[in-house]
Structure 1
Amino acid sequence: MPLKLYRRGQIWHYRGKVAGRYLRGSCETADKDTASRKTAKIESDEWKCHFDGPQSVLTFSQASLMYRGAGKPTRFLDRIEDYWKDTLVKDIKPGSIRQMAMTMYPKAVNATRNRQAIVPCQAVINYAAESDLCPFIRVKRFKIEKKIKAPFTLSWVNSFCEHANPYLGALALFMFSTGARISEALAVNWEHVDLQQRTILIPKSKISEQRIVHLPPRVLAAIANLEGAEPLHLLVSHARLNAWPVAEDDQARRHQDPDGPQRPAWLRYHDAAQGD
């Protein structure tokens, strides 16, 4: 039977059976003409889905809502949703996704286009594909020019600790000795620290499950001297997440003063994982 309209308060709702499925919901409007048009669209899409498959009516916005509802990462999703809006997923091809990346980030490097455009867009579509709502999609990444990056060394860490305040020095020692990512280090609270067992529980991250790391004596002493501050990660400046933060007293600034003491080179957080 076709969908029928009924009013609940001031808002129109619909209910009925279409293509063997019972549907009901709100038209989210008090205007009957608008409600009728919405109901007709819902009924039409349901028949189209029944005859041509779910991919014939699935839009990117619908797929994105499913993706968000599953608790997936949404950091770069807003701009992608604004770009595709109600475009049918079946009409989104690998080439058009690459074009989207270039349109959204015309001056960005290829690594940024891959990370902030191609990867999340493909993830949304493939999540819907896992529910048989559309085909899976594979998108060729933009070529990335790999550069040799300066890694952490023990001499650099020693020099950094001489200039940094105790909190940043402990952070540098912890990341260097354990290979923890900056996000993992910032997720550590005092409840994860066991000074008696000389261990720290690193919470689950995007690349690994939670794990326990053992602390060398020097790192243990540096962290033990910070005990009493809560939570631990708030002791670290969040001024810049792509480089070592600097102390307010200017002890750890990266700019070299030709007349002052030699300070360590400015390295990024992620260089800690490349240390030796």
Structure 2
Amino acid sequence: MSEEGYHKRLAACTWSFQPESPASLLDKLNTCGIRRVQLAMNPLVDDAAWAEIGTMLADAGVTIVSGMYAPRGEDYSTLETIRATGGIVQDQLWDENRELFVREAEWAQQLGIKVITFHAGFIPEQETDPLRATVADRLAQLAVIAAEAGIELLLETGQETAEDLEAFLAELGDAGVGVNFDPANMILYGKGDPLEAVERLMPFVGQVHIKDALPTPTPGTWGSEERVGDGAVDWSAFLARLDEGGYTGDLVIEREAGDNRVDDIAHAAGVITDLLRS
């Protein structure tokens, strides 16, 4: 595969760059050489300055490979706060979050985005827990909205074990919900070995995030996100598992920590490109 071929699989999450404006995003993309992105959708709804981002990216030769939906009210301060507020679990915000998704699906149609990912929130392990049925019902509603807009809806991994997520997806049946696999999230949340998890979830995987992490030494707290190659993910083995499972889709770099995001994203692209080449 040519160098161009490797880069046709790589992308980066726009929120990782912490852009203050569309122009800021383009500057940072140019600096690190990334020409494909997963686009944070909330700014398109919240800030008129982002209304022309599709045209701006296209004019700059940047392709949008997918979108990301972030429900209102999420608090990632601690594991306890995100368990209580993450995704679509909050009753008082459900109507607002459903409407937000409707608007973002409309934006996705305009921009030709075919995939949207998000965290649904902590899914209760017990099948008899009423919240489990509530999350399933809300996911089914979002999946219908997505399908009507020609969008594939993918759940981020990490807040459940692979076994629990697999069982939940089986319960959803043909709702049209898949997986955005993030190996670092499995480590950050302490939910299992990424290699074993991706093998189990491979039939559902529609996109992959490239992110690294180290496990926490203190149970009940976050692990630490690290630069790709500095964490616990065995990238050579992980990419091999993807290849063995027949995954040939996008590899989207996500960086949510650190003060040198542009450099870290460029570094990650180099690490993954070298491994793909070998």
| TM-score above 0.5, yes or no | no
Structure of higher CA gyration radius: 1
Shorter-chain TM-score: which interval?
under 0.3
Output the TM-score relative to the length of structure 1: 0.20
Structure number with the bigger relative contact order (C-alpha 8 A, sep ≥ 6) is 2
Output the TM-score relative to the length of structure 2: 0.20
Structure with the largest fraction of strand: 2
